[in-house]
Amino acid sequence: MYGIGSTSASKILHGINTQVFMMWDQYIRPGYGYYNENATDYLKFMVDCQEILRAVVGHYQEKHGCDVTVAEKEICGRAYPDLKVKKSLAKLLDEYNWMKFCNKRDLPDPWLDL
């Protein structure tokens, strides 16, 4: 079949706005319990990712006693302290997904503390 599939579409959307759109592929989908390459499952996956990132930011806020803006900025700054341009939270989660599900690294499931 020719054309743009769900993996390519998610990568294009992510390239347009890395703050909002997450990438998914044949390894990441089943890692989150999604087996269909359709818009409905992609939207559910996006909700899952938002919940994970909210939980990460919330935990950071509680631990460091800061507001959401400061928490997001500090999390992104701590990930790659030497980079001049910081990566978005969505990009950091994307990198985590890639390491866990594509590279098969032994990392905790991102939704354990939700």
How far apart CA 58 and CA 34 sit, in angstroms, is 26
- pLDDT at position 26 is 93
In sequence order, what are the residues at sequence separation of 6 or more whose Cβ sits closer than 8 angstroms to the Cβ of residue 41?
29, 34, 35
Q: Give the DSSP H or E segment for 47.
A: helix 39-64
- pLDDT at position 19 is 85
- Nearest CA among 1, 35, 13, 2 for reference residue 94: 13
Per-residue pLDDT in tens (0 to 9) along the chain, 114 residues:
567 888 898 989 988 988 889 999 999 999 999 999 999 999 999 999 999 999 999 999 999 999 999 999 999 999 999 988 888 999 999 999 999 999 999 888 776 654
- pLDDT at position 112 is 62
In this prediction the pTM is 0.85
Question: Could you tell me if 86 and 78 are in contact, meaning their C-beta atoms sit under 8 angstroms apart?
Answer: no
